[in-house]
Structure 1
Amino acid sequence: MRLPTLFILITVTIDAMGIGLILPVMPDLIAEVRGGTLAQAAAWGGVLSFAYAVMQFLCAPALGNLSDRFGRRPILLISMAVLALDYMVMSVAGTIWLLLIGRIIAGIAAGTHATGLAYMADISPPEKRAQNFGLISAGFGMGFILGPLVGGLLGGLDPRAPFIAAACLAAANFAFGYFVLPESLPQDRRRPFQILRANPIGGLIMIGKLPGIVFLLCVMLAYQTANFVYPAIWAYYTQAAFGWSTGMVGFSLAIYGVSIAIVQGGLIRPVLARLGEVRAVYFGLILNTACLVLYGLVGQAWMIWVLIPISACGALVAPAMQGVMSRAAGADQQGELQGVLSSISSLSMILSPVMMTQAFFWFTRDGADPFLPGAPFLVAAILMGLAFAIFATTHRGLAPAKDAA
């Protein structure tokens, strides 16, 4: 593997660790700085995720457009430096408001994922983009492995210790990228920065002019809003339903991350070769819907361990969808497209924590009838079914861009 590609994979892995690190320790960390019950901690966790996602939603299109103008390298390096700063802020947070500031900083710097995807689009022929996007997703899955493991192990010592470790990793990766990462976007494929396009609405309007892509963006929004139920609610759900400890929560998330990495790093290539991108999306959406229903209804912990590797197979939806949409964008729009997709992801992270934590709160609060910790997964199953319905009726309207190669 070439060093620049390795840097991209490490970058998205660290980006994903920022989510995974928080999940096992968030209930205890919020209880330490804020106090209250588990249901109240879940509500505050939704607020922190909301703040992170709002800033990512607002800033991702600007970062994508800046990378189309100035290149991928400076955006990736600056984002990584800011991320290291954010982890240091989180490591000393003693109040809920400082935690909130830390999440805001992270949201601003969260363009690493979108810009990393644009970098891979630059160096990949159209027919191999979905496969290489799978590598990015595998790196994201690896972050889900390492993040919960580090969060669970170090969080047992101190809820802030995982953030110190993550800050050191981000700083080290910045130094690594500074020396090994070349620019992937040549001068003749850059375009002027336009403020009207460097915001969620403007970017969506420009990308939305591509035939059929608006409906596919709606598919991604419904899919990601549903899929974000896992990081939004997992720690609270497993504690309420099965009494799991912080370490067990981290271990279960690590198993989920391993399963996703296997799917997106190994299985996605033969699956795409056999099914193609469109049928792979169909398969993943159906599987995801079924698994979410089962998560919502299971009553014994052993069933969770059976479901984890099965539900991870649904992770092939995102890279397959990105491959479908990337074919419709020109070479000078890949950063803009990934910025819009990042905003869609951020919008799902705005909507999902609020929806899922509120569903959890109402079905686990004192006097809740019925007491149903899995209620958020049933809400997510409805959204996943909606994504399937939209894709089934609209995906045929997409046409490849003439200069997509």
Structure 2
Amino acid sequence: MNLQVKQRIPLKIKRMGINGEGIGFYKKTLVFVPGALKGEEVFCQITSVKRNFVTARLLTINKKSKFRVQPACSIYEECGGCQIMHLRYDKQLDFKDDVIAQALKKFKPAGYENYEIRHTLGMENPQHYRAKLQFQTRSFGGSVKAGLFAEGSHRLVSIEDCLVQDQLTQQIINGLVKLLDKHKTPIYNERKIAGLRTVMVRKAQATDQVQLIFVSSRDLHLAPLIKDLTADFPQIKTIALNLNTSKSSDIYGEKTEILWGTDTIKEEVLDYRFSLSPRAFYQLNPQQTQVLYGQAVAALQVSPEDHVIDAYCGVGTIGLALAGKVKSLRGMDIIPEAIADAKQNAQDMGFDNCHYEAGKAEDIIPKWYHEGYRADAIIVDPPRTGLDDKLLDTILKYQPAKMVYVSCNTSTLARDLVKLAKVYDVKYIQSVDMFPHTARTEAVVKLVKK
């Protein structure tokens, strides 16, 4: 490979990669170009040279794709939070179908060539869908800014009008920034100042109730600010403080304390209402969550005598859609507040056949089996890292007859299917566009024991 950093080359883009970048070949060398689309002829500049590939920066487009559109976001390229807003939306859905196919081709689970990959279910209006934001706060010249770090850096991009963020949550963070200035709240920086690091704002779509978490490296006196903020935004029902004194990139520390308001807010999905604690996980696109969970319930096809495990259950949202249709439901999650919510949600809905425990699925499920419990069906909704090896081994050991895998990372899904496909037939993979304008997608996989 003779390519050098800063070298400029012409390139024809053959396909798009899993991160939304354009991919081409220059003298048999693989070249990745963020911002380029399939079919385009571009001029680019090499930014890094690796052993098997190079990356490049898009300079000019000599032949444009007919599916290229002008992003409506003014900070699209600077922010980096979205990767494919320059691709027409219907073609974004085609791209997400292909991302699943690429992952399967890379990991090659048994029979993958014959898997049914159903077309990605998109949104009618793919804007302002994010009901949760986590913005970093920093101080510049005595003025507070909130936003996201530019990709691969600790340079904050101030965001005041995000095209994919729920508009109320954006208004709240904008109002909060002014109040942080007004009340001279200490703002964290990596070098020497202890103070506010991150703000989380989440809105329940069904009720417009809002909860907010201040993440700080020290205790803060927030009472005057909270008084102003809740007067300006009566939708806010919960304000919490999370202390994170570590130097790591983890957003949250272990301790979260409610400073003001109620412990939970109320949200709805499918045909039921449930409670959400500030730290409990819930999908960030409520509108598409209806679609996703509906697909998961349909894929599992439970019967009245089934015993079901809901692994990585969060506040119980997917499992509670099944509770009225099965003999028993058991779930676990590593966040104790989420398990407390799940127990309360089951009680509020009148279910006495649900059992929840706080802990890791890979530890709790073997314990249950050792105690004599047997599941007919299991639903897993793991984080982006996919299934823990110990949990995979447990599933393969006990082999529930039916399984649904809800995945937010196509690569770890395909990796896990290598093991699962030895015991289960993959009936289909249904992708749901939970994250329009980004390269990410969510998938529901129906598996049935061979």
What TM-score, normalized to structure 1? Answer: 0.23
Q: Which has the higher contact order (CA 8 A, sep 6+)?
A: 1
- Give 1 or 2: higher helix fraction: 1
What TM-score, normalized to structure 2? Answer: 0.21
- Give 1 or 2: higher strand fraction: 2
